[in-house]
Amino acid sequence: MTPVVLALIIANVVVFGLQGMVGDAVIANFALWPVGSFTDADAGVTVGFHVWQLVTSAFLHGDTTHIALNMFALYMFGRDVELSLGSRRFAWMYGASVLAGSLTQLAVVTANVDESVVPTVGASGGVFGVLLAFGVLFPKRRVMLIFPPIPMPAWVLVTGYAVIELTSGVLGTQQGVAHFAHLGGMVGAALVLFTRRRPQPPGINP
């Protein structure tokens, strides 16, 4: 396993363990809440958006299945992406995906806030950024979904996921899933992948 992928998986698992020990206080303070002031019925405290939640929410998860699926996808696709980009650029890309996903989700939930306010948690923004990078870097690599078990090129998988997320987000299907965070994560990864480094002047070592 590559170092950044391993560090991310360990960090998510450790935080998930702490989340189980501390309980609702972690969600109240570190999950991503809409802009405003609200009452969290579970914790019985006033909650709202704080800037650190753009990052911390990506290390919280709703349940064991949620974190297991995210970490499995990060493990499956992250290794080859990190080997291709290098650990430093991979870390930048993952961070950009998390921030872009959180900002997109924040804008959507704040614009559509109602009395049933719920927070957003999960590493899916970063994971979907990794998925996009995999499709860009290895477009012809054959991959297979768990369901349905049909082999397909990576670019087809990534395109299909993007279309499904956009359609589900616009139509409001699959309530409780942060579709726009997933799309934002893909956009964040694309910004890093398609930003070329400026060439150094002759005679100057990078």
Residues identified as active-site: 124, 182
What are the structure tokens assigned to 64, written together? 């064991």
Matching residue, tokens 């590493």: 123
* 8 Å CB contact between 6 and 96: no
Cα(3)–Cα(6) distance, rounded to whole angstroms? 5
Name all contacts of 169-178 with Cβ < 8 Å and 24+ positions apart.
Answer: 169/108, 176/118, 178/101, 178/105, 178/120, 178/122, 178/124, 178/125
- CB-count exposure of residue 74 (10 Å: 0-12, 13-18, 19+): buried
Nearest residue to 62 via CA among 24, 100, 92: 24
Phi, psi of 46, rounded to the nearest 5 degrees: -85, 130
